[in-house]
Amino acid sequence: MSSPLHIVILAAGEGTRMKSSLPKVLQPVGGRPMLAHLLETAQALEPARVHVVVGAGADRVQAACDAFQVDWVLQEERRGTGHAVLQAMPGVPDTAEVLVLLGDHPLIPADLLAELVGGRDAPLSLLTMELDEPTGYGRVLRDVAGRVCAVVEERDATREQRAVREVNTGIVLAEAGALRRWLGQLDCDNVKGEYYLTDIFAMARGEGLPIRGLLAPDPRDLQGANDRRQLALLEDRFRERAAGALMDAGVSIADPRRVDVRGRVTAGSDVSLDINVVLEGNVRLGDGSSIGAGCVVRDCDLAAGTRVHPYSVVEGVRTTGACEIGPFARLRPGTELSSGCKVGNFVEAKNARLGEGSKASHLTYLGDSDIGRNVNIGAGTITCNYDGANKHRTTIEDDVFIGSNSALVAPVTVHRGATVGAGSTLTKDAPEDALTISRARQATVRGWKRPHKKDAGR
């Protein structure tokens, strides 16, 4: 029977170099906190328990990640990585394997960790990477057989050792009993007065125990973020991976460097994304749908054939058939468009449902509205849904024609087949199959003189 896996995530750092009131592990990558990415990866390994060691902003960290099943461990005094791991050990049985992860390393692939965990042939293992510029990292030294014989911190390394490009990532797998023993032997006799987890490698070698080192294929997936520059590099790598996954699924992307995925996206076949598209939250793109340049799509379910034209912002929108959105449209949560709908330029809709074939082509506001089939809404039409205290609904039934520059003061119903004359303000229901006009009679004043400015010199 294999040993249970316990994962310890170190997430207590303040991240002072971020210069932010937000705890470091809550800084976003791909629209989600770094720690949330890592917790999702940890869950994929199906561990017996996940222990997260928190310190700075502990309450905010827990609140942001309360959807995950986690044992939260408070490190009241932050005295180094070894001290942090030690705080979690009371919840770990000696029969377990312990995988130590760093909370500001959000992009570690689950399959790479699975490979590390799956090769439990040594009491101590570590994940390593090769860097062209390894300055600042502990160097991983191997013997002639390729086995790890030491991890030397840069400050203690010789010139020859500093030339080594393989470095320690800080990700460690150890037998719980041995790890507990080594942590108990740590001392803080160093410049910072901290207990370093890396000191356990020397202890293992001192006991004659083998150390396994697994070299990661791509060091970009094992980078952390201590400042805004490093955070931007993580964002860039996340963008590359997310765009690559979409293209692997058959999505056509005009320029993968100019598409930002900040959530979970599922896409059908023959989907296309133009440049500078931002996809946020949970987004589903049906077969043959397309997103134009400069669009923001957030928490949307877009049916097959839906076309979002350039510079539109759509949030919380559902389409049930092929339809046209934009350009320059803003659709807000609760908007639902049926097959054949067109919502054009400078149209805003919120909590509005449009039936098949209905169109609002330009310069319109549709709020809290139920709109039937084959309705034409003229330019400049607004539904006046808010009385200053409460929202009210507007109902427009099938086959209605609304003339330009009309105001529909809710609650009001425009019945089937009605026509509303341009420039009307409706405060009462419009009957079916009739023309309703509500506007002042046009008049001309003869002999009227336009006022002029007074002579500035007088």
* Cα–Cα distance measured from residue 86 to residue 274, given in angstroms and rounded to the nearest whole number: 50
Do 237 and 382 belong to one domain?
A: yes
**Residue 132 lies inside a defined structural domain of this protein:** yes
Residue pLDDT tens, the chain, 458 long: 478 999 999 999 888 899 999 999 999 999 999 999 999 999 999 999 999 999 989 999 999 999 999 999 999 888 889 999 999 999 999 999 999 999 999 999 999 999 999 876 789 999 999 999 998 888 999 988 888 888 888 888 899 999 999 999 999 999 999 999 999 999 887 777 788 898 899 899 889 898 999 999 999 999 999 999 999 999 999 999 999 999 999 999 999 999 999 989 999 999 999 999 999 999 999 999 999 999 999 999 999 999 999 999 999 999 999 999 999 999 999 999 999 999 999 999 999 999 999 999 999 999 999 999 999 999 999 999 999 999 999 999 999 999 999 999 999 999 999 999 999 999 999 999 999 999 888 899 999 998 888 875 55
**Residue 141 lies inside a defined structural domain of this protein:** yes
Do 323 and 213 belong to one domain?
A: no
Q: What pLDDT was estimated at residue 458?
A: 55
The catalytic position among 362, 392, 415, 452 is 362
Do 180 and 298 belong to one domain?
A: no
Do 56 and 151 belong to one domain?
A: yes
Do 210 and 241 belong to one domain?
A: no
Do 236 and 298 belong to one domain?
A: yes
**Residue 458 lies inside a defined structural domain of this protein:** no
Where among 201, 222, 243 does a domain terminate?
A: 222
Do 86 and 124 belong to one domain?
A: yes
Q: Where are the alpha helices (DSSP H) in 68-188?
A: 81-88, 110-118, 159-162, 176-184
Q: What pLDDT was estimated at residue 77?
A: 82
Report phi then psi at 424, rounded to 5: -85, 150
For the four alpha carbons of 30, 32, 35 and 36, in that order, the dihedral sign comes to: negative
The residue written with tokens 């991890």 in the block is 151
CATH number of the domain to which 236 belongs = 2.160.10.10
Do 112 and 242 belong to one domain?
A: no
Q: Please state, as a whole number, how many other Cβ atoms lie within 10 Å of the Cβ of residue 450.
A: 4
Do 293 and 249 belong to one domain?
A: yes
Q: What pLDDT was estimated at residue 144?
A: 86
* Cα–Cα distance measured from residue 159 to residue 149, given in angstroms and rounded to the nearest whole number: 18
Do 172 and 300 belong to one domain?
A: no
Q: What pLDDT was estimated at residue 189?
A: 78
β-bridge mates for residue 360, sequence order: 343, 377
**Residue 97 lies inside a defined structural domain of this protein:** yes
Q: Is 196 exposed, middle or buried (0-12, 13-18, 19+ CB in 10 A)?
A: middle
Number of domains in the chain: 2
Q: What pLDDT was estimated at residue 1?
A: 47
Q: Identify the domain containing residue 253 by its residue range.
A: 228-436
317-344 core/surface letters (b: 16 or more CB in 10 A; e: else): bbbbbbbbbbbebbbbebbbbbbbbbbb
**Residue 447 lies inside a defined structural domain of this protein:** no
β-bridge mates for residue 52, sequence order: 9, 72
Name, in order, each residue with C-beta under 8 angstroms of 280's C-beta and a sequence gap of 6 or more.
Answer: 31, 262, 263, 296, 297, 298, 299
**Residue 453 lies inside a defined structural domain of this protein:** no
The amino acid at residue 429 is D
Where among 166, 192, 222 does a domain terminate?
A: 222
**Residue 89 lies inside a defined structural domain of this protein:** yes
Concerning whether 362 is annotated as a catalytic residue, the answer is: yes
**Residue 444 lies inside a defined structural domain of this protein:** no
Do 80 and 108 belong to one domain?
A: yes
Where among 207, 222, 237 does a domain terminate?
A: 222
Do 56 and 33 belong to one domain?
A: yes
* Cα–Cα distance measured from residue 405 to residue 421, given in angstroms and rounded to the nearest whole number: 9
Q: What pLDDT was estimated at residue 456?
A: 59
β-bridge mates for residue 104, sequence order: none
CATH number of the domain to which 34 belongs = 3.90.550.10
